[in-house]
Structure 1
């Protein structure tokens, strides 16, 4: 599961812009993950709660990602490519809004993740394909 938390000033994004960002981020993963694995959370912050370099900012957005369903396994080329693809997905809107932004991605062990109380199926397995086809988690025998 990719989990993306987007910290932003209150009322910085319209509903349509949030949908656009969530769709663009989800599309980064759907060629190898079920779409419902991708979580995008918008976390608005009061303008008085965002400081960069010790100074208040009203146009700063922080994208904090966490990868759980797949790992980079230390492959620096894949890591760099992912950050580049992510930035390509968000740059048009961020530039249109004259925003400054940062991106970071952390990794969490697959074994520390569950959906609806179930351990997700192994990557690339028939069970994972079943989850993709159903668009949701379904019971399976591990």
Structure 2
């Protein structure tokens, strides 16, 4: 059984925070790209309503999906530097950090609960995939 002192908390927190930073950066880049393409296509005058609608949809769909995917990758990154017996716990830790950050920025409803659980599962799966692919 993994004890709390066996976990590398700096790596877990770093993996969780970096996941959100990357997800937010990609979301901003996608929205800015859409705005630039829309502005060029309309002769220089941006359609504010279209940009706002795109931002809302991409924020509601793209950001959570991307965050969950990147959580798995971050958990695998964290798991590569730890003992194999603690890798799954580290993955769960990354998922919990990412999920908690998501809860801090969203409404506390059933959708956020599902995202939280899915994010933790993605962290565990990321660590397990890393273990399956690594040969010790």
After TM superposition, the score normalised by the length of structure 1 is: 0.31
Higher Cα Rg: structure 1 or 2?
2
More helix by share: 2
More strand by share: 1
